[in-house]
Structure 1
Amino acid sequence: MKPAPKWWVSSLAVVASTVLAGCVSTVEGAAVRASGPGGDLPVLDDAALGRLLLNIGEINGIMGSTGMQVAGDVDEMTDHSDSVSDVDCLGAVYAAEKPVYADTGWTAVRDRVAREPGDDNQHWVEETAVLYPAARDAQAFFESSSQTWQGCANQSIGTNDGDYSWALGDIDVDVTDGGAPLLTQAAEQDDSGGWQCQHALSVVSNATVEAWACGYRIDGEAAEIAAAMVAKAGP
């Protein structure tokens, strides 16, 4: 069985300085449209949060599969801080983790996992959307996460039981076609025959979107998923 970043537990349950000022901020020298009051996008609410998630047809299309199915669809976070070899890198190897989002002011979460049925699946995707009271809170989480991911780059992070280990790559900071900041990092599972993942994070209005895309040939799929989630916010 090829575990994904959550190592398939049973509970499916920046290097960038970004300043929100006026309607423009900067990420690594690139202009980014701010959102919310005074910007181009409306403030999102709990009802709109689920709209950011891609449906199974869209996921299959991006992953080049026809057989992926939704394996988990929840509105709560999990906590696997006791199972990783370096808890400081929890946010770099897991999505929708309570300790990672603690003290960020988040108010709602939607988390969806998709894969082909059976143990020998060829693709695995997790997409997460998290709501905050204001755009500045979402932006602060993005900035904090960029620092965390950078600190964990080029390290091997495993489970405390020694069953699985992931080699994390460098981070990359970019922007989506719509101008939203985009953070990505590659990971490869040790001794897995080439099972690899891309982790992506972006921010839109008062929400963050996070995606994991895993398979044997991964080339930007998580970034594509995150960008598509951002696009669903409007206007």
Structure 2
Amino acid sequence: MRTGRVAAVALAVLVAGCANTVSGTAVRPATIAPVDVPLLDESHVAEVLLPISELNGIVGTTRLAVTSDLEEMTDHSGDVSDPACLGAIYGAEEPVYADSGWTMVRDQVARDPGEDNQHWVEQTAVLYPSETEAQRFFDTSRTMWEGCARVDLTVDDGVVHSVWDMASVIEDGPLLTQMSVQRDADGWGCQHALSVVSNLTVEAWACAFTLTDEAATIATEMAANAAEAAR
């Protein structure tokens, strides 16, 4: 079963301090988007995800390890105060993608080992029959994210375990980003990013105590991988 963001939330309250600074990896500017990319098929999806070595360089650690690697959607709609904001706080959720026409998903979670992990990353690639359907999901997500300013998360017993404050959505060409911060968690927060390339959407989460544009960088590199795979 996937280790989702609830695990990151629970772990966040157990740790304090800031992430260690590690030299980063040179990446493409987010404003450079792939153009004229042929349609992708299922054989390309595995090539879209970034390897652990690259994720480590982007988020500034050397300790990430894959804890979940799925080819199916999950459903945490019962854990959020407003089901309409499910896609703003969780990735690869069946209710969010249900009417999008998607045909294949690859979702991977990586984090630092142990209970004191200070980095948590999720990357998701979703394939659609056409560019139109992928773009429609991107546009729908923008509208949905913009309507979410606060999300309360519960775990199993229905009691609120964490409250997340959502920042304004930033759109940069075919890239959406939104920052969120967990209340009373020493600054633990996440950046969420979504991009579209041809008939594929790529989604990324990067969570840590110190964030800049890590999820945007991951999504941009995933989109570049998709373009390269299709050609």
TM interval, short-chain normalised: 0.7 to 0.9
Counterpart for residue 179 of structure 2: 186
Among the aligned pairs, what percent are the same residue? 52
Residues 1:111 and 2:113 are matched in the alignment: no
Map 1:54-133 → 2, pairs under 5 A: 54-133=50-129
In structure 2, C-alpha distance between the alignment counterparts of 1:223 and 1:123, rounded to whole Å = 15
What is the deviation of 1:231? 0.4
Contact 1:81–1:90 (8 Å) recurs in 2: yes
Give the match's secondary structure for 1:163.
strand
Deviation at 1:32, TM superposition (A): 7.2
Q: 1:5 to 1:70 in 2, by over 3 A?
A: closer
- Is this contact kept in 1: 2:89–2:151, CA < 8 A? no
Residues 35-83 of structure 1: CA deviation (Å, up to 9, x unaligned): xxxxx21111111011110010010010110011111111011001111
Unaligned regions of 5+ residues in structure 1, if any?
Answer: 10-29, 35-39, 176-180
Counterpart in 2 of 1:155? 150
- The equivalent of 1:199 in structure 2 is 192
Count of residues in correspondence between the two structures: 201
Q: CA deviation at 1:190?
A: 1.1
1:5/1:93 contact within 8 Å kept = no
Deviations 1:104-161 (A, max 9, x none): 1100000010111101101000000000000110000000000000011x32433242
Opposite residue 158 of structure 1, the aligned amino acid is: L
Q: Aligned pair 1:45/2:71, yes or no?
A: no
Gaps of 5+ in 2: 9-30
Is 2:151–2:164's contact at 8 Å kept on the other side of the alignment?
A: yes
Among 209, 214, 222, which residue is 1:216 paired with?
209
- Contact map agreement 1:157 1:168 (CA 8 A) in 2: no
AA partner of residue 157 (structure 1):
D
8 A contact 2:82–2:151 mirrored in 1: no
How many Å separate the matches in 2 of 1:32 and 1:193? Answer: 35
* TM-score scaled by length of structure 2: 0.83
CA distance in 1, matches of 2:94, 2:224: 26
Q: Distance in 1 between matches of 2:217 and 2:33?
A: 18
Instruction: Report if aligned partners of 2:45, 2:106 keep a CA contact under 8 Å in 1.
Output: yes
Spell out structure 1 runs of 4+ moving beyond 3 A.
30-34
Inter-partner Cα distance in structure 1 for 2:53 and 2:75? 29
Residue of structure 1 equivalent to 2:15: none
Query: CA offsets per residue over residues 5-50 of structure 1, 9 Å max, x none?
Result: 72128xxxxxxxxxxxxxxxxxxxx99775xxxxx21111111011
Cα RMSD of the aligned pairs, angstroms, is: 1.8
Higher helix share: 2
3-state SS, counterpart of residue 8 of structure 1: helix
Tell me how far apart the structure 2 counterparts of residues 143 and 156 of structure 1 sit (CA, whole Å): 21
Which SS does the other structure have where 2:194 is aligned? Answer: strand
CA distance in structure 2 between the partners assigned to 1:143 and 1:64 by the alignment? 31
Give the CA deviation at 1:103.
Answer: 1.2
Correspondence for 1:143 among 139, 143, 146: 139
1:6 match: 5
Point out which structure has higher relative CO (alpha carbons under 8 A, 6+ apart): 2
Q: Compute the TM-score of the two structures, normalised by the length of structure 1.
A: 0.82
Look up the equivalent residue of 2:159 and give its one-letter code: D
Match of 2:26 in 1: none
CA distance in 2, matches of 1:121, 1:31: 32
Indicate conservation of the 8 Å contact 1:132/1:206, yes or no. yes
